[in-house]
Amino acid sequence: MWRWTGRFPVSISNGNAWATNWDLVGYATQIGPQPKTGLMIINGTPKLFPDPLTAIQSYRQDFPGEVGVRNSLRGPGYFGVDMGVNKVFKITENHQVRFSWETFNVFNRVRFDALTATTTIDTSSIFGAMNKTLTIPRVMQLSLRYSL
């Protein structure tokens, strides 16, 4: 089974500023060019932006009454391949043995979750850092079943 998606939408948050509502945090307003996104490993941390400092300078906090921009960026998508093989061996007319082998994440690909990226503009030191994955490491399972 192949599962492959396009890139997931990402929004830049206002941080701890409440421009529209005292209870809900809004989205930041874009004031510069749209930053490039992609997976970059910087000092061992997966980042959403190749250059986080330039990316954060493209946004500002909203003024009262502004709503900012939602889903203007795209983060990494999902890719995964799962596979299963089984074979039934007839021993006699009423007896059989079934062997199954299933593998999840066959190519052992790592895809980071863009929704876990730190996208609040008041956290410049970790801006764009992703801390969870969408995929699991490769897992294989084997089974043997005897049936009457």
Question: From CA 84, how far away is CA 134, in angstroms rounded?
Answer: 21
Q: Do the domain assignments include residue 65?
A: yes
Query: Does 23 reside within a domain?
Result: yes
Give the CA radius of gyration of the chain.
23
Within-domain flag for 36: yes
Q: What 3-state DSSP class applies to 19?
A: coil
> What percent helix, strand, coil does the chain show, rounded to 5?
5, 35, 55
Pairwise CA distance, residues 118 & 136, whole Å = 21
Distance between CA atoms of 3 and 42, rounded to whole angstroms? 28
The domain in which residue 122 lies consists of 2-78+110-135
| Per-residue confidence (pLDDT) for residue 147, from 0 to 100 | 93
pLDDT tens per residue across all 148 residues of the chain: 998 888 889 888 887 776 666 666 788 888 989 898 888 888 888 888 888 888 888 988 888 777 788 888 998 888 899 999 999 999 998 999 999 999 999 999 888 888 888 888 888 888 889 989 888 999 999 999 999 8
**Residue where the block lists tokens 């061992």:** 44
In a domain, 83, yes or no: no
In a domain, 94, yes or no: no
pTM of the predicted model as reported, rounded to 2 decimal places: 0.70
Residue 57 in any domain: the answer is yes
Residue 101 confidence (pLDDT): 97
Q: Are 82 and 1 in contact (CB under 8 A)?
A: yes
- Give the count of domains, the chain: 1
CA atoms within 13 A on the CB side of 74: 7
